[in-house]
Amino acid sequence: MQSASIQENEKTASGGDDDQRGWWFSDVQARSFNAQQECESSLGLEESIETVKTAVKDLGPFDGILGFSQGAALVAMLCALQEQKLEADFNFRFAVLVAGFRSACSQHRRFYEAPAITIPSLHVFGQDDRVIPEEMSRDLLPAFDGAQILIHPGGHFVPAASSHRQTYQDFLKKF
């Protein structure tokens, strides 16, 4: 039942079924995504990595990278590829991950088994997030060495109150 409600929240958060987009699908047959769905393989991750590589080549260089929700999960994977020196095009000096999480897809375990990611990171998550519960965001923290954390009392959104903005500014001033 919880899984169904999370899928509904994801649909609502993304604007409905017709507007669904993602970096990969956890359910290859249904071409859908659920952050809590365990799966053996995913569909679309390699194409998404190639899309980011192309953007970096064509539009970069970029000092940092920011991702929200599934995009933050992707950012963690991109940082792992950079840390492992598997992608020469990635040279991010920092990462901001909002409502990030570890992928539950066994095909993605390789991103979390390497040594901790040393790229400075700011992890932002809401205590009342019903799409990506706080525990899921906390589970991603050990993958990063020295992760900075911003916890807000809200749900599945990028917080922007003045105190939150100050945290972002303080983090970004380092770069």
List % helix, strand, coil for the chain (3-state, nearest 5): 40, 15, 40
Q: Indicate the SS3 state at residue 126.
A: strand
For the question of residue 129 being annotated catalytic, the response is: yes
Please pick, among 69, 103, 121, 137, the residue that the annotation labels catalytic: 69
Q: Which residues pair with 117 in a beta bridge?
A: 144
Q: Which residues of 92-110 are buried (b: 16+ CB within 10 A; e: fewer)?
A: bebbbbbbbbbbbbeebee
Quick one: which of 4, 7, 1 has its CA closest to 34? Answer: 7
β-pairing verdict for 94-98 and 148-152: unpaired
Please pick, among 108, 123, 152, 156, the residue that the annotation labels catalytic: 156
Secondary structure letter of residue 175 according to DSSP: -
Please pick, among 42, 103, 123, 129, the residue that the annotation labels catalytic: 129
CA atoms of 158 and 126, how far apart (whole Å): 9
Catalytic residue IDs: 69, 129, 156
